[in-house]
């Protein structure tokens, strides 16, 4: 039987990108000569190099054409002396990764085949040797001419004794399988994984007249054990487009996929995925609702049961960013169940600097050599492999929209919601390119969003807030032209603007717009239209330059109720009507024009491919009002996961149901429910919106940071108040708070106690989140944000992380880095740890235990945690059967409903019913 590879309309894309340009290694091992790198895929290149003694200052760069016209990284990549490395380079993201090996003569790649040969009509059935270029990965370039009955197979020994074809047309080889037929024309990189037996063909060059290229239905670099083991399985689409019939789904990159067009809204468009076409096993539990009159590519992961959709109907929105282009269809993939993810949270401007040309100093908290805007999307793209190596599957980035204030590097002072801040973008490396690069690596993007407030500049093109141009400000006792504040020389006006003014709002009055394009020195007298005084004038009211008068704000856009103070922070009315600070001006979020403006911007970013949304300052917007925004976005992108920050320093269940000094209507759980009674959470269902888990976090200052688990059980007993506690986003610390008495500092205590916290977060209900640098206790003990009057951000938890990313050997060897990496591996392999509620909780200070029961979906786990001493754990009322510990591999058979085991200090026992056994490698804590 003939087996034909599936057609995919990708050739034009591959060719336009020119992804097979030559790339060369240049460094101290080859005296900076040019050594061609080996292509292992369309964008991945590799070489192995041995570096000499420390006296040689061992380092290297990757050069595109061998003439230094384009090379990476911007600074030499330094490595350890007297060490061989396998060096990988991604020509799309420009990311470089290195792996230490014993030597380059025997790189040490794992392999199941002693050799492998390509044989087929392109080489007249000769034996063309394939090269082992990575663990279990063989590759060779083959030129196809499109002749009749063009086909091929793979031969292990070169004598047909052990050969492989593809009898199932699923991109996975079978021993003695059928010839693989193809109508390809052009040169392709043929790749085989001898562990999964997945194979792929990636175009190097193709017939220019062809509008499509042929690829295998599976990529060896992406097929997981779960997907490969179900390669011969069958899954069916059933929904309104096929009148709930059974349409077989086809394997595509290890997922089961189909394309379907949904009809009018009157048909209530929806679907499910059915395993056997008989409804005995189907997903999700409720029908998956989608937009009317829309076509989707729908893919299903048989291992995790996650469903992803790609909208094939709507054209991608154009971004106002100069470097962003319309996204490809693959950029709009969304997750069917975000509980499967783990999140790495970072401040983009403080993570990694890929382009020094866009660096920028804010006028406040100046520190020479440390621009506030330092990291960027180019740098983040370069370091995606770092985040992926840690095992995270989603990246939460601070708001990327254009900001304005004296200290706006964090992104929470929005000036133009429709434009990406140019201080984060570079040619060819803007926000769109970052989203695309993240998706290409299987990483989802979470965009931080602020709907509560804007900057004190107003909103470009919509509303102006009355100010005098900052360049006319002169401090008391000073003289105009004498300011020396880093690059701010002469005056405090924006040093990168031609006329020293960055307030380019076109709806500003004519007098302001005229000074925006003139008088850079700020010396031409200007009459303040509000007071009649003339500036520049030493000591003139600073509020006319940096503050606002709330009573003069445009009520069509802003509240006019003044600024928060004292007890306002626990008052619902004040929280939701007053301004938080002089650079956080409270938007009138209930007005339709404000909703239209904000919703339009968020929908634009969703169309660019953003996968989930995090909302800032949730309690500052009334719940039902906030849910109108959330539901608008969800209607635009079905399945969208949205969560938010409702900061509370305490368990925060509300005075109606617990000991609390404020009403539940400003507490986290309230926003996850639809009840109208704050004393009765069960009076309404799940709102479809989740929150950061401040309740469990608030206990950490009193338990895990002090070496015990006391008090956590009592908080978990309150999980019932949430719409769905398994959707909570959990954390140990973030850019605002830390686990200390003042909720103020990055954790700086014992590593073992941090390991305890992560053991809990990764095995408890909820979606665990790590704040950048936690993996090495970065800036431990320092305040999360500026604390003193003279602090600069390098003295805080928001310091620049770049040096640690330039020294990966040390960073990735940190015990907590390895600890978190393994926790991610374990959680990924056990669905119960991702989605089940936490039940049967028992805590005794030095340890705790609980059950994660997802038995209805085939996953069930019993967890035991230990503090600073070994713990004996016994859990009754569990299911009988054979349990295997994901940490030690220990096996226990339960016949009487009680599971007993021992956990070493700072470790965990994760006993999975019928589980796979030990996952990952022992470290300092998990062992």
The residue-averaged pLDDT of 129-150 equals 86
- What's the pLDDT at 431? 96
Strand partners, 489: 484
- What's the pLDDT at 6? 32
Strands 847-854, 838-843: parallel, antiparallel or unpaired by DSSP? Answer: antiparallel
Under DSSP, the state recorded for 810 is H
Confidence band of 328 (pLDDT split at 50, 70, 90) = very low
Strand, helix or coil for residue 254: coil
| Termini Cα distance of the chain | 51
Q: Which domains does the chain have, with CATH numbers?
A: 24-101 (2.60.40.10), 117-203 (no CATH), 235-311 (2.60.40.10), 841-913 (2.60.40.1180)
**Is the pLDDT at 210 greater than 80, yes or no?**
no
H or E segment to which residue 510 belongs: helix 510-516
Strand partners, 48: 86
Cα–Cα distance measured from residue 214 to residue 199, given in angstroms and rounded to the nearest whole number: 13
- What's the pLDDT at 4? 31
Listed residue (633, 648, 623, 647) closest to 723, CA to CA:
623
- Whole-number mean pLDDT of the chain? 89
Stronger pLDDT, 858 or 325, i.e. the higher one? 858
H or E segment to which residue 626 belongs: helix 623-636
**Is the pLDDT at 347 greater than 90, yes or no?**
yes
Confidence band of 769 (pLDDT split at 50, 70, 90) = very high
| pLDDT tens track for 825-839 | 999 999 999 999 999
| pLDDT tens track for 228-279 | 333 347 899 998 998 888 899 998 877 899 999 998 877 778 888 988 887 7
Please calculate the CA angle 726-902-764 and round it to the nearest 5 degrees: 10
Confidence band of 740 (pLDDT split at 50, 70, 90) = very high
Cα–Cα distance measured from residue 729 to residue 423, given in angstroms and rounded to the nearest whole number: 29
- What's the pLDDT at 11? 31
Confidence band of 105 (pLDDT split at 50, 70, 90) = low
Contact 388, 400 (CB under 8 A): no
Listed residue (819, 815, 827) closest to 910, CA to CA:
827
Cα–Cα distance measured from residue 589 to residue 621, given in angstroms and rounded to the nearest whole number: 7
Structure-token pair, residue 923: 């470290």
- What's the pLDDT at 336? 67
Which range among 193-202, 403-412, 456-465 shows the weakest confidence by mean pLDDT? 193-202
Which range among 30-44, 172-186, 518-532, 697-711 shows the weakest confidence by mean pLDDT? 30-44
**Is the pLDDT at 927 greater than 60, yes or no?**
yes
| pLDDT tens track for 21-38 | 478 999 999 888 889 888
Please calculate the CA angle 22-26-30 and round it to the nearest 5 degrees: 125
Confidence (pTM)? 0.68
Under DSSP, the state recorded for 292 is T
Q: CB burial class (10 A; 0-12, 13-18, 19+) of residue 507?
A: middle
The residue-averaged pLDDT of 479-505 equals 97
Cα–Cα distance measured from residue 59 to residue 52, given in angstroms and rounded to the nearest whole number: 10
Strand, helix or coil for residue 405: coil
Cα–Cα distance measured from residue 5 to residue 144, given in angstroms and rounded to the nearest whole number: 13
The residue-averaged pLDDT of 686-711 equals 97
- What's the pLDDT at 265? 75
């Amino acid at each position: 039987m003939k087996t034909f590879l599936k057609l995919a309309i990708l050739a034009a894309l591959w060719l336009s990108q020119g992804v097979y340009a030559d790339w060369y290694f240049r460094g101290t091992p080859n005296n900076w000569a040019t050594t061609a790198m080996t292509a292992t895929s369309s964008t991945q290149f590799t070489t192995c190099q041995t570096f000499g003694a420390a006296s040689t200052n061992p380092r290297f760069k990757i050069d595109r054409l061998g003439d230094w016209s384009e090379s990476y990284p911007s600074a030499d990549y330094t490595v350890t002396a007297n060490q061989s490395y396998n060096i990988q380079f991604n020509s799309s993201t420009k990311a470089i990764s290195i792996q230490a090996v014993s030597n380059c003569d025997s790189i040490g790649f794992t392999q199941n085949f002693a050799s492998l040969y390509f044989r087929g009509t392109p080489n007249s059935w000769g034996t063309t040797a394939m090269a082992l270029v990575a663990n279990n990965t063989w590759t060779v370039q083959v030129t196809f001419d499109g002749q009749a009955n063009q086909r091929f197979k793979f031969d292990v020994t070169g004598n047909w004794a052990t050969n492989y074809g593809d009898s199932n047309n699923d991109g996975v080889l079978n021993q003695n399988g059928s010839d693989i037929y193809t109508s390809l024309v052009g040169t392709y990189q043929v790749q085989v994984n001898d562990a999964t037996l997945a194979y792929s063909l990636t175009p190097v060059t193709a017939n220019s007249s062809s509008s499509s290229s042929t690829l295998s239905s599976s990529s060896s670099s992406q097929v997981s054990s779960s997907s490969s083991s179900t390669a011969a399985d069958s899954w069916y689409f059933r929904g309104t487009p096929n009148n709930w019939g059974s349409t077989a789904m086809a394997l595509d990159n290890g997922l089961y996929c189909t394309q379907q067009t949904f009809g009018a809204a009157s048909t209530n468009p929806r679907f499910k995925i059915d395993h056997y076409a008989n409804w005995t096993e189907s997903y999700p539990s409720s029908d998956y609702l989608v937009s009317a009159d829309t076509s989707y590519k729908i893919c299903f992961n048989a291992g995790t049961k996650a469903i992803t959709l790609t909208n094939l109907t709507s054209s991608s929105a154009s971004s106002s960013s100069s470097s962003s282009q319309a996204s490809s269809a693959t950029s709009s993939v969304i997750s069917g169940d975000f509980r499967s993810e783990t999140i790495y949270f970072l401040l983009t401007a403080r993570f990694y600097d890929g382009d020094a040309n866009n660096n920028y100093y804010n006028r406040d908290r100046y520190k020479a050599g440390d621009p506030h805007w330092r990291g960027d999307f180019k740098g983040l793209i370069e370091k995606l492999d770092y985040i992926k190596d840690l095992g995270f599957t989603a990246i939460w980035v601070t708001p990327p929209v254009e900001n304005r204030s004296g200290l706006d590097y964090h992104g929470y002072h929005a000036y133009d919601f429709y434009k990406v801040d140019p201080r984060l973008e570079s040619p060819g490396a803007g926000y769109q390119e970052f989203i695309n690069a993240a998706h290409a690596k299987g990483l989802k993007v979470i965009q931080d969003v602020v709907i509560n407030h804007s900057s004190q500049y107003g909103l470009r093109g919509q509303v102006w807030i009355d100010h005098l141009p900052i360049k006319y400000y002169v401090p008391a006792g000073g003289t105009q032209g004498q300011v020396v504040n880093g690059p701010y020389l002469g005056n405090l006006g924006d040093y990168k603007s031609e006329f020293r003014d960055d307030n380019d709002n076109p709806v500003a009055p004519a007098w302001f717009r005229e000074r925006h394009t003139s008088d850079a020195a700020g010396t031409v007298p200007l009459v303040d239209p509000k007071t009649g005084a003339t500036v520049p004038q030493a000591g003139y009211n600073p509020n006319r330059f940096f503050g606002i008068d709330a009573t003069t704000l445009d009520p069509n856009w802003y509240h006019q109720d003044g600024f928060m103070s004292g007890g306002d922070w626990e008052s619902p009315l004040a929280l939701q009507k007053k301004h938080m600070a002089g650079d956080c001006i409270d938007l009138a979020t209930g007005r339709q024009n404000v909703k239209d403006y904000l919703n339009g911007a968020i929908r634009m970013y969703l169309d660019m491919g953003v996968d989930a949304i995090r909302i800032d300052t949730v309690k500052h917007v009334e719940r039902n009002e906030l849910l109108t925004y959330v539901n608008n976005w969800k209607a635009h992108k079905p399945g969208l996961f949205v969560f938010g920050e409702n900061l509370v320093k305490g368990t925060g269940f509300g005075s109606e149901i617990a000991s609390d000094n404020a009403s539940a209507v400003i507490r986290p759980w309230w926003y996850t429910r639809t009840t109208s009674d704050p004393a009765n959470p069960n009076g309404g269902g799940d709102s479809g919106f989740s929150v950061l888990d401040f309740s469990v976090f608030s206990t950490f200052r009193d338990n895990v940071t002090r070496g015990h688990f006391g008090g956590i059980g009592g908080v978990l007993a309150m999980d019932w108040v949430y719409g769905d506690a398994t959707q909570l986003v959990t954390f140990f610390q973030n850019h605002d708070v830390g686990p200390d008495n003042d909720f103020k500092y990055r954790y700086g205590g014992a590593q073992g106690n941090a390991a305890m916290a992560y053991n809990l977060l990764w095995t408890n209900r909820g979606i665990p989140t790590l704040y950048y640098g936690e993996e090495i206790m970065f800036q431990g003990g320092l305040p999360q944000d500026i604390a003193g009057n003279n602090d600069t951000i390098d003295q805080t938890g928001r310091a620049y992380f770049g040096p640690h990313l330039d020294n990966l050997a040390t960073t990735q060897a940190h015990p907590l880095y390895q600890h978190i990496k393994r926790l991610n591996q374990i959680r990924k392999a056990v669905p119960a740890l991702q989605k089940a509620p936490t039940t049967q909780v028992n805590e005794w200070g030095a340890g705790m235990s609980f059950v994660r029961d997802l038995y209805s979906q085939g996953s069930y786990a019993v967890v035991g945690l230990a503090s600073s001493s070994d713990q004996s754990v016994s859990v009754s009322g569990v299911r009988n059967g054979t349990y295997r510990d994901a940490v030690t591999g220990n096996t226990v058979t339960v016949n009487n409903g009680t599971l007993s085991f021992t956990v070493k200090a700072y470790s965990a026992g994760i006993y999975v019913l019928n589980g796979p056994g030990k996952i990952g490698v022992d470290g300092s804590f998990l062992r």
